[in-house]
Structure 1
Amino acid sequence: MTDAPAPVYEFDWPDRVVIGTVGLPGSRTFYLQARTGPRIVSVALEKEQAALLAQKVDEILDRLREVEGNRWSVPTSTPVELVDNDPLDAVEEQFRAGAIGIGWDPATAQLILEAHPLPDGDELDEDLAEEPPAPDAEMMRVKMPVGTARAFARRTREVVNAGRPLCTLCGRPIDPEGHTCTFPEF
C-alpha cells in the first residue's frame, strides 16, 4: 500500500488572491487566501511573512518594468479595477506557512507564489529559511498576472499597516488597554 501524495492546492488564474486577517489588532491571524469558483484555500502566515511578501512582489514587478521594452506591461501602480478591499471569504486553515517562494513565468506573464507548511513542532525561525521544503510535501501554488500581483502587494501592505498604532516615543504597538512607554530616559 502506498501513501497518497500530499495535496497541492493550485490556482493558475484565480478569481481572487489576497492577504487578510481574522481577529482584532494585536491578536490577528494573517491568511493568504486564493479562490477559483467555489474552491477556497486559506494558509496562515505571520505578519512579518506578509510584509516581506508584499515587498518582494513589488521588487520583482519593479525589476520587470526595468527590462527594456517591458513586454509584460507591468503597471507602475495598482490598476483601480483590481483593488480588492473585501473581507476574506470563509476561512478554513489548510496549514501554517513556513517557507514561501516567489517566481516568475515569462511565458504567461504571471507571478508565482508557493507556500509550504511549517514542519510539525517547528517555529518560524532563520534556520528554517535555509532548509528547502520536502519535494512531496503539501503546498499552495498561486499564479497571478502582473496587475493582480500589484493589487495583491498593495492590499497586503494596507492589511499589515492596519494593526495597532505605534508609540511615537518608543515605536512599540499601543494596546487598546493602554501602553507603558519604554522610551529610554536621557
Structure 2
Amino acid sequence: MNPDIFTADYVGEPGKRSFYLQARGEEGLLSFPIEKQQVVVLAEKLRELLLLVDGDDTVTSASAGRDPALAFTEPVSDETQVGTIGLAYEEDADLVVVLLQPLPEESDEDEVELDEASGVHLELRRDQVRAFVLHAIAVVNEGRAICQLCGLPMDPAGHKCPASNGHRLSD
C-alpha cells in the first residue's frame, strides 16, 4: 500500500489511552491497534533511518508537534494488533518500507512462524516519514504529567507519591 497519510494517534483520556497506527489513501483506510511503546520505538527507528539516508535531514532540527493533516479519520477500527514491525529503505525508489506483522494468536506451539503474506506492506516517501516522526513524538508526549518527586505518571484524579508519603513501591 502506498498511503497518502501514515499516522499514529490515540483514543481515550491520558492513563487510559489506546494507540493506533492508521494508513489511508486511494487503496482504502487501515487502522491497527498498537502499544504506546511501539509508537515510541517506531518513531525513533524511523528517525534513525532518515538520518542514515541523509545525515542533513531536518528531522533533527524540527520541533515535534501535532500535525492537523495527520489527524485520524473516524471511526478507528480494531483490526489486528500490531506485533512485529519491520523497516527497510528502497534506495532505487527512495522509499521507506514499513512492514506491520500482526500479533501472533496464542498457540500451544512453542515456535511462532511469521507469515509475510499476513503483514501489511507500506511504502512511504521520506517527507511522510519525517511528518510521522514529529507527529508521533508529540502524540506520545500528550500523556499524563510526570511527578517531579518520584518520576511516576500522575493521574488526573490524584497521585499517591511514594517520595512524599514515605512509602516505597514494591518491586
Corresponding residue for residue 145 of structure 2? 165
Given that 1:84 and 1:151 are in contact with CA atoms closer than 8 Å, whether structure 2 keeps it comes out as no
Given that 2:88 and 2:97 are in contact with CA atoms closer than 8 Å, whether structure 1 keeps it comes out as yes
Q: After TM superposition, give the deviation of residue 85 of structure 1 in Å.
A: 5.2
Corresponding residue for residue 132 of structure 2? 152
What code does the residue aligned with 1:99 have? T
Report matched runs for 1:129-148 at 5 Å. Answer: 133-136=114-117, 138-148=118-128
Given that 1:97 and 1:117 are in contact with CA atoms closer than 8 Å, whether structure 2 keeps it comes out as yes
Runs of 5+ unmatched residues, structure 2: 167-171
What secondary structure sits across from 1:183 in the alignment? helix
In the superposition, the TM-score normalised over structure 1's length comes to 0.76
Runs of 5+ unmatched residues, structure 1: 1-10, 123-129
Supply the distance in 1 between the matched residues of 2:112 and 2:54 (Cα, whole angstroms). Answer: 31
Corresponding residue for residue 100 of structure 2? 115
What secondary structure sits across from 2:24 in the alignment? strand
Question: Which shifted more, 34-43 or 144-153?
Answer: 34-43
2:13 is the counterpart of 1:24: yes
Supply the distance in 2 between the matched residues of 1:40 and 1:153 (Cα, whole angstroms). Answer: 20
Query: Kindly, what percent of the aligned residue pairs are identical?
Result: 31
Q: After TM superposition, give the deviation of residue 62 of structure 1 in Å.
A: 0.9
Corresponding residue for residue 125 of structure 1? none
Q: After TM superposition, give the deviation of residue 108 of structure 1 in Å.
A: 1.3
Supply the distance in 2 between the matched residues of 1:94 and 1:64 (Cα, whole angstroms). Answer: 32
Supply the distance in 2 between the matched residues of 1:56 and 1:120 (Cα, whole angstroms). Answer: 26
For residues 35-70 of structure 1, the C-alpha deviation after alignment (integer angstroms, 9 at most, x for no partner) is 01371100110000000000000011111113xxx8
Given that 1:99 and 1:118 are in contact with CA atoms closer than 8 Å, whether structure 2 keeps it comes out as yes
